[in-house]
Chains A and B, each alone.
Chain A
Amino acid sequence: MITKRDVEQIARLACIELDKEDMQAFTIQFNAILEYFEELEDIEAELTEQEEGNVLRADEVVPSLTQQEALANAPRVDNGYFKGPRIL
C-alpha cells in the first residue's frame, strides 16, 4: 500500500512537480498497478541468462556537432553557452 506521501516523495526524486489532482489519482492507480505486479513475487529463478553487456568501440575522434548546432535547440543561450537557472 503506498500513500499520497509516498507518491509525493517519488515525485520529488523524479523531479516532477505534481498537482493535487494528479497526486490523488496517481495514488489510487499506483496501488492497483503495484498490486498487479505482485505476481512476480513467486519467481525464484536465478539470473543466468548471458547479458549482452557493454560493447565498446574504439575511441576515435570523428566530426561532431558544431557549437551552433549544439546550441540550436536550447531555450536560453548566453554568449555561446547554455543558460541554466541561478545557483545562488
Chain B
Amino acid sequence: MSHLEHVEELLESIGRSKLNAFITVDYEGARQQAQDADAGVLDGRLAGIPIAIKDAISTKGLRTTCASKMLEQYVPPYDAFVVKKLREEGAVIIGKTNMDEFSMGTSTETSCFGPCRNPWDLERVPGGSSGGSAAAVAAQEADIALGSDTGGSIRCPASFCGVVGLKPTYGRVSRNGLISYGNSMEQIGPIARTVEACAALFEVIAGYDPWDSTSRDAHVPHCGASLADELTGLEIGVPQDFFGEGVDPVVENATWEAIAVLESIGAHARETSMPNLKYALSAYYVQAMSEASSNLARYSGIIYGHRVQKDHDWHTTFSENRASGFGKEVKRRILLGTYALSAGYYDKYYLKARKARTLISRDFRRVFKQFDALIAPTMPYTAFKIGEKIEDPLSLYKVDINTVPINLANVPSLSVPCGRKGRLPIGMQIIGDQFNEQLLFNLAFQFEQQTDYQHAV
C-alpha cells in the first residue's frame, strides 16, 4: 500500500469515527505530505508515517487551540521543536488531537470541543489530558501520536486506551512550542501501539534544544537497538505505596502477574517502600496550580486569543476576556494557584509543596540505588464513565495518585498494556532513573514479546 492510500484510509476512518479524537484534521497537508513520501521527496526515520499531535503543541500554519475557546482561532507562527524534528524525519502530520482544556484534566471531558470517547467503550473516558492522541492511536486513526504529560497526561490515556506511552525524563525533550501549564513538570512524549514504534518516535523527538532553558544536553541512545537485550539479573522494585487504598484488585492482580512474567525471563522483583509518596498528590496539585496561574496570566485577549466585543477599562476587559475564554476547570486551577502563591499562604502551600517534592525525589534516588527499575499500576482502575467524576473536582484529582510522583521526581515512566478487565485495558508503568529510557523500552519490549495485550480496537 502507498503512503497516500494509507493516509486516505485513516482520513476515512476519522470521518466515520464517533470518538471525537481530533480537533483539527489537516486533510490537504496530510495528503500532500503522503504524496511527497511516495515520490521519495520526503525521507527520514519516520518517512510517510501518519502522526497525530496533541493540540497543545504548536504547528506552524495549523490551528492550535489547547481545546480552549481562548485559543479557538489561534494559528501558531512557528513550529514546536518536536514538530520541526518530525518534519525533518518525514512524518505525515494528520491532525491535532482533542485534550482537556490547557491539559488540565484526567478524562478529556473539559475540552471546549466536547469530550473524547474511549474506543473500547464509547460511554467511557479515554483518560487525559492527551485523550485524543491515545484514542486515535488505539482506534487506528493514526499510527503514532504525541502527547504531553504534566501529572500523567500521556500515561493515563495510554493505560485507559490500551496503548504504549512514555513520559520522558524532565529536560529530555524540548518544551519549546508546548503551550505551558505546569512547566517544571511537563514533558512531550510518544504514544504508539507497540513498544518498538514508541521507542522510534522517542528517538526522533529527544535531544538538546537551546531554545528551552530546561533542555538537557544528554546523549540520546539508540533505544531500538537494545529492545531485545536479556533481562537476566535485572533488579525490579515494587513500591507498595502504589498499591494503596482505591486500587482495583483486578488491576493489582494484573500488575503482579506482569511482574511474574518479567521474573520468568530473568528479572528479580522485590517489594520496597517510598513513604513520602503520600504527599505526592497535594504537592503536585499545589505546584501545578501555582505554575498554571502564572503561565496562563499571558492570556489577555489583546495580542492573540479570545476577545469580547465591547471594550471597557483594561482590568474589566481582561477579566471579561478571561471569564468567557476559559472553562471551569482552568478557572479553578488559576484561582487556587493564585491563592497558593498569595502573601500569607505561600509558606503554607507552595513552599511546603516544594519541600514535599524534595522528599519525594530523595525517595526515588534511594530506591534507584537498589533497583534498576520500578513497576506499579499506571492508574488505580480502568476507564470510568463520562460524567462520573466531572462534578467533583477533588475526586477527579485523586485519579492521578500513581502518576504524579513521577513528574515531581523528574524521572521517566513508560505505560504498557498488562491486562484487561472485561474489554477495558489495564496499564502498568515501568519507572526508571533519570535519562534511562533505554532500559524501560527494553523491559517493555521483552514483556510485550511474552504477552498478547496489543489488540487494536
Contacts and interface: CB of A to CB of B under 8 A. Distances in A.
A46 interface: yes
Interface of A: 2, 6-7, 10-19, 22, 26, 29-30, 32-34, 36-37, 39-41, 43-49, 52, 54-57, 65, 69-70, 72-76, 82-87
Interface of B: 73-75, 77-78, 171, 210, 213-214, 278-279, 281-283, 285-286, 293, 297, 300-307, 311-320, 322-323, 326, 328, 331-332, 334-336, 338-339, 342, 348-349, 351-359, 361-362, 393-394, 397
A84 B349 contact: no
A56 B210 CA distance: 9
A82 B312 CA distance: 16
Contact of B286 (A15, A37, A49, A83): A37
Given A36-B282, A40-B356, A10 B74 contact: no
Contacts of B361: 49
21 contacts: A11-B335, A13-B342, A14-B334, A29-B332, A30-B336, A33-B393, A40-B279, A40-B348, A43-B355, A49-B357, A52-B214, A54-B213, A56-B213, A73-B74, A73-B304, A75-B304, A75-B307, A76-B302, A76-B307, A82-B302, A85-B317
Given A43-B359, A84-B314, A26 B335 contact: yes
A22 B279 contact: no
Given A41-B348, A84-B314, A16 B355 contact: no
Q: Which 9 residue pairs across A and B have the least CB separation, nearest first?
A: A73-B304, A75-B307, A40-B352, A17-B323, A85-B311, A69-B77, A17-B319, A85-B317, A14-B338
**Most chain-B Cβ atoms within 10 A of its Cβ — which of A55, A65, A83?**
A55
Contacts of A57: 210, 213
Given A49-B358, A73-B73, 18 more contacts: A6-B339, A15-B318, A17-B319, A22-B331, A30-B336, A33-B336, A33-B393, A40-B279, A40-B349, A41-B348, A47-B351, A49-B357, A57-B210, A73-B303, A73-B304, A74-B304, A75-B304, A85-B313
B213 A55 contact: yes
Contact of A47 (B326, B336, B354): B354
Contacts of A74: 302-304
B213 A84 contact: no
A28 to B, nearest CB: 10
Given A10-B335, A72-B75, A73-B74, A82 B322 contact: no
Contact of A30 (B73, B305, B335): B335
Contact of A82 (B286, B303, B358): B303
Contacts of B355: 43-47
Q: Is the interface of A mostly helix, strand, loop or mixed?
A: loop
Contacts of B73: 73
A18 B331 contact: yes
**Most chain-A Cβ atoms within 10 A of its Cβ — which of B281, B282, B320?**
B282
Contacts of B313: 85-87
Given A18-B331, A52-B214, A65 B78 contact: yes
Given A10-B342, A69-B77, A73-B75, A37 B335 contact: no
A10 B335 CA distance: 6
Contact of B358 (A17, A47, A70): A47
B349 A29 contact: no
Nearest to B217: A55
A82 B305 CA distance: 12
Contacts of B297: 15
B311 to A, nearest CB: 4
Nearest to B320: A17
A26 B333 CA distance: 11
Contacts of A22: 328, 331
Contacts of B352: 40-41, 43
Contacts of B319: 12, 15-17
A87 B312 CA distance: 9
Contacts of A37: 282, 285-286, 349
